[in-house]
Amino acid sequence: MTENSPEIQGILDEYQQKKLSRRQFLKKAGAAGIGATVAAGLLASCGGDEEPAATTAAPATTAAPATTAAPTTTEAMPAGPTKGGTLREGYNRDVSKHDPITTNWYDPAFFAIYEAIVTIDPDGNFVPQYCTDFGVSDDGLEYWFAVEDRQSHSGGTITAADVAEFYRIQKFSFIAGLAAPIGSYRSEGNRVIAEMNNPWVGTYGPLATGYWRIANINTWKDVGQYDDETGLAGEGVVASTYGTEVVDATGPFQHTEWVPGSHSLVTRWDDYPGSNVPYFENKGPAHLDAIRWSVITEAGQRATQLENGDIDTLINPAHQDLARLESNPDLTVYRHPEWSGYFMFMNQENFPELFGDLDTRKGLSHAVEREGMVQALLFGNGAATYGPFPTPDRYYEPAVEELNNYDVDEANRLLDGAGWEMGSDGVRTRNGTRLEFEFMVENESLQVAIGNAAAAQFSVVGAQANVNVVDRAVWFERAGSDQVPAGLFMWLWPISADIIPLFCNSAVIPSPNWSHAREERIDQAIADWQAAGTQEAAQKAQSDLQLAWAELLPNISFINQNATFVKNNRVHGWAPFVWLLYPYYNDTWIES
Amino acid sequence: MTSSTPESYLAEWNQRLLDFEESRHVSLLRRAMRNLVRNRLLLTGTILALLVVGAGLLGPIIIGGDYELINFSNTHATPFTEDALLGTDHLGRDTAIRLFVAIRVSLAVAVGVTGLALVVGLALGTVAGYRGGWSDRSLSGVMDFIWGFPLILVAVLFAGGLGEGLLSVILAVGLVNMAAIARVVRGEVLSLSEREFIEAARAGGLSNGRIIRKHLLPNILAPALVLASYYIAVAIIAEAALSFIGLGAQPPLPSLGQMVAEGRNFLQLNHWETTIPGLTLVLMVLSVSLIGDGLRDVFDPRLRHEAKGVEAT
């Protein structure tokens, strides 16, 4: 190793002591007049990590995710970004329609095609993406976003008025209730204004998700023959090819192919003017020629395809394959808590004889060994959940951990007390009703395993849950039909505080409050959250909600898995972190 | 001849005809039993089948235990470890107990499907072939229509209507197999109907029902049984396939296809979770196929003669 100048040596020392990230190192090195190639060489000589541990660390204002793991594989630093190549990414779900307004889910492609008005940085802070600046009025009743006129993929122009109109139409979406405190949107010059019904600390959260990513509303209306009278129910909108054949937005990649069950493909938009996101290094068009997401729903196949070189990056390999992937020097594994959870709904209204009383629900909850499920089913790659939120959530209430612990004796005591008598066949009865019910589970290997595990544990305390494995579409159709007593559901959403109320709010019976829970405490906590103008009020509302869920058990929470991403070390600038469901692709490039 | 009246003359001939048929069957049975022992295919298939059936029937009684019982602290154990004869699965459930129960499930489905297919197929095929005319045309049309549907599609339709589970599997596979058996039986009956002994029986004034019971059924039973043995294998594979895709046995009730499906996600971790039910499935199908081939050799006179010819040369 040659001798370095004191300034460079200082930067190197800081980097080796993990005080600097790779990006920070490169920036400082650049400021010190060192070329990228030399800097990269220096990094390589001191064993540069692709991404530092800080990438997946929680912001200082929240509890650090307990299971956050730094990328596990070190790699030599290449010379610098090279242009070209197609990133082949494995995706564990089927591809969804690329239309933020009418889609039933948003995929990683939304992070390539679209831009949100704001997004989140690795520290968990909201930063501009589509807008150049944003803020809130002193009374908290107006959120403003400065936007410049932007060219879209089709060559059309998107003005502030178009963005406001997009948001106005978006309010017809089934998901819009998550931002209910936002009353309306309007534009003023080059500003988009969100007018609030009340001050709300949660305003930016939904706006940063896939459903609020900005499409060229003019194209959207043209393709969908939209008219205001019928809203999203209009024939033109229902039959629209927007999101399947036509997509018009402002992200660095353009929609190219969308084949459900197989793949979706996006290609670089060469006229992309660059991003406003401060932490993106690449300020111009993307490095990659294209990105292809392959649908790999077969859990065991995902890791194999990555190892075989059929794909370059992978979202959510099977948990059982993680140890093997982590031991592979050609791969880098990212793990962090996922904003998701598995819970069991119990229809209290249509099956009151089974789930109408709290002690029965509590008895079932105490029969579940959540920690064991985490170890056996997730191979430790997750956490037990005793309340509705995953543990790293900024509003997580740890007091829920005192409730619903695994205790078979307590479970039996509660069920005995509720009047359920153990029958000779091992199934309890009460007033002639057997404690036996259909337990509907979606046909996906992990969900079936969780369903089976829960059912087997219920049987120990005299409850017979008959697992019924059905397709996803059938699951949703039947869960909303009032005919299913119980079912397993997995939710996934980057902001727990927004999504959890959907499953327990009496205003959304029968779906997605499939339990038909009508709990005043819960409804009040939800109302308090949507009226929370300060962080203190938000924290109180969220704590109330979590405790009410854990105590009143509208649903029984089971476990929460970690989000896991893996990449081949030839791929650079692809760095998923805890606050977003997917990585961005602006900085991604493939070593030739 | 001692009969003096035409009625008694006819009755005597009928009796002699029946005696002849009976003696023919007795000799056929004796010959079949002899061939059972001599036929290697049949012997091997029977031994394998006895092993698998024995394991299914006696296994749970001998080793005991609950196929639902989970144990999170002992998952993915390999065979002969941790008190688990054939290891454990991803929930720590004992693979041996689940395997034995799965064999029972397969056998129950196979017997249910084949019983249904054989009884209904024989009845419909015989009626169609013997009565001819519009009965034949309509029944044959229905059978051809059913036979034209892929088995999986029929199973999906049944699962859609009745819900996933073994009942749907039995009805779907039974329906398709029934159509197959009915078509073959109809052809046999059509051929037999032209034979002299049937003509004689008709001339003798025997009722249609009696002719079918006494003369047709005994002659078509052997080929139908050979066919049924083939369709037992089809039923076992179909049940496993449907359970593999989630339409068959519903958890926690194990089936071979479901065990293979659950285990395939852990192939690199513990391949036994897939290999053991997979091999069992192979053995079951192989044994039934060998028995079918053996029975065909025993009952098919053409193959017997060919075999003799080969031996002679």
Chain A hits for B164, Cβ within 8 Å: 468-470
CA distances B89 to A325, A445, A486, Å, are 22, 13, 25
For the cut 60, the answer to whether the pLDDT of residue A28 exceeds it is no
Summarised one tens digit per residue, pLDDT across range A392-437 is 898 999 999 999 999 999 999 999 999 999 999 999 999 999 999 9
- DSSP per position, B172-238: HHHHHHHHHHHHHHHHHHHHHHTSHHHHHHHHTT--HHHHIIIIIHHHHHHHHHHHHHHHHHHHHHH
B162/A contact by beta carbon, under 8 A: no
% of chain B beyond a pLDDT of 70? 89
Q: Say yes or no for a CB contact (<8 Å) between B246 and A453.
A: no
Q: Say yes or no for a CB contact (<8 Å) between B68 and A456.
A: yes
With vertex at residue B194, the alpha carbon angle to CA B190 and CA B200, rounded to the nearest 5 degrees, is 130
% of chain A beyond a pLDDT of 70? 87
Q: Say yes or no for a CB contact (<8 Å) between A376 and B267.
A: no
How many alpha carbons fall within 13 Å on the CB side of residue A125? 10
Q: Say yes or no for a CB contact (<8 Å) between A300 and B163.
A: no
> Roughly what angle, to the nearest 10 degrees, separates helices A22-31 and A36-45?
130
Which of B:33-52 have CB within 8 Å of A?
A: none
A449/B contact by beta carbon, under 8 A: yes
β-partners of residue A253 are A268
For the cut 90, the answer to whether the pLDDT of residue A378 exceeds it is yes
Among B73, B75, B90, most A C-beta atoms within 10 A, so best to mutate, is B90
Q: Which alpha helices (DSSP H) does A332-406 contain, by range?
A: 352-355, 358-366, 370-377
B82/A contact by beta carbon, under 8 A: no
Specify whether domain A86-330+569-590 bears CATH 1.10.3720.10: no
Which of A:245-304 have CB within 8 Å of B?
A: 299-300
For residue B238, give the nearest of B156, B120, B143, B119 by alpha carbon.
B156
Summarised one tens digit per residue, pLDDT across range B187-240 is 999 989 888 888 888 888 888 888 988 888 888 888 888 888 888 999 999 999
Which of B80-84, B92-96, B205-209 has the weakest average pLDDT? B80-84
- Give the whole-angstrom CA distance, residue B219 versus residue B182: 15
A469/B contact by beta carbon, under 8 A: yes
Chain B hits for A373, Cβ within 8 Å: 72
For the cut 90, the answer to whether the pLDDT of residue B164 exceeds it is no
The more confident residue out of A453 and A26 is: A453
SS3 A292: strand
ipTM for the whole complex: 0.73
Q: Which token pair is B99? A: 């395997």
Q: What CATH number should be reported for the domain whose range is A340-561?
A: 3.10.105.10
Summarised one tens digit per residue, pLDDT across range A309-344 is 999 999 999 999 999 999 999 999 999 999 999 999
Q: Say yes or no for a CB contact (<8 Å) between A377 and B265.
A: no
Chain A hits for B73, Cβ within 8 Å: 372
Q: Which token pair is B286? A: 């192989």
Tell me what the mean pLDDT of segment A104-121 comes to. Answer: 96
CA distance B280 to chain A (A): 22
Query: Hey, what amino acid is at A310?
Result: D
Q: Which token pair is B187? A: 């052809």
Per-chain mean pLDDT for chain B:
85
Q: Which token pair is A336? A: 């962090």
Are A192 and A117 contacting, i.e. CB atoms less than 8 angstroms apart? Answer: yes
Summarised one tens digit per residue, pLDDT across range B265-278 is 899 899 999 999 99
CA distance B249 to chain A (A): 10
Which of A131-140, A415-424, B166-175 has the weakest average pLDDT? B166-175
CA distance B73 to chain A (A): 7
B65/A contact by beta carbon, under 8 A: no
Summarised one tens digit per residue, pLDDT across range A118-127 is 999 999 999 9
With vertex at residue B87, the alpha carbon angle to CA B83 and CA B91, rounded to the nearest 5 degrees, is 105
For the cut 80, the answer to whether the pLDDT of residue A266 exceeds it is yes
What residues have CB less than 8 Å from A233, skipping those under 6 apart? none
pLDDT score for A341: 96
- For chain A, give percent helix, strand, coil, nearest 5: 35, 20, 45
B167/A contact by beta carbon, under 8 A: no
The more confident residue out of A196 and A20 is: A196
B134/A contact by beta carbon, under 8 A: no
Q: Say yes or no for a CB contact (<8 Å) between B92 and A459.
A: no
For residue A378, give the nearest of A390, A387, A363 by alpha carbon.
A390
- Give the whole-angstrom CA distance, residue A544 versus residue A64: 22
Summarised one tens digit per residue, pLDDT across range A476-505 is 889 988 899 999 999 999 999 999 999 999
Most confident of A351-360, B44-53, B200-209: A351-360
Q: What CATH number should be reported for the domain whose range is B39-65+106-229+277-312?
A: 1.10.3720
- Give the whole-angstrom CA distance, residue A378 versus residue A395: 24
For the cut 50, the answer to whether the pLDDT of residue A50 exceeds it is no
A456/B contact by beta carbon, under 8 A: yes
Q: pLDDT class for A64, splitting at 50, 70, 90?
A: very low
For the cut 90, the answer to whether the pLDDT of residue A29 exceeds it is no
Q: Say yes or no for a CB contact (<8 Å) between B266 and A300.
A: yes
Q: Say yes or no for a CB contact (<8 Å) between A467 and B267.
A: no
Chain B hits for A452, Cβ within 8 Å: 70, 91, 251-252
The more confident residue out of A42 and A137 is: A137
Total CB pairs under 8 A between chain A and B = 66
What residues have CB less than 8 Å from A481, skipping those under 6 apart? A510
Q: Which token pair is A28? A: 């400082």
Which of A248-262, A502-516, B63-77 has the weakest average pLDDT? B63-77
Closest chain A residue to B92, measured at CA: A376
What residues have CB less than 8 Å from A574, skipping those under 6 apart? A87, A313, A567, A583, A585, A587, A588
Closest Cβ opposite residue B268 in set A324, A449, A456: A324
Phi, psi at residue B201, to the nearest 5°?
-65, -40
For residue B162, give the nearest of A454, A451, B170 by alpha carbon.
B170
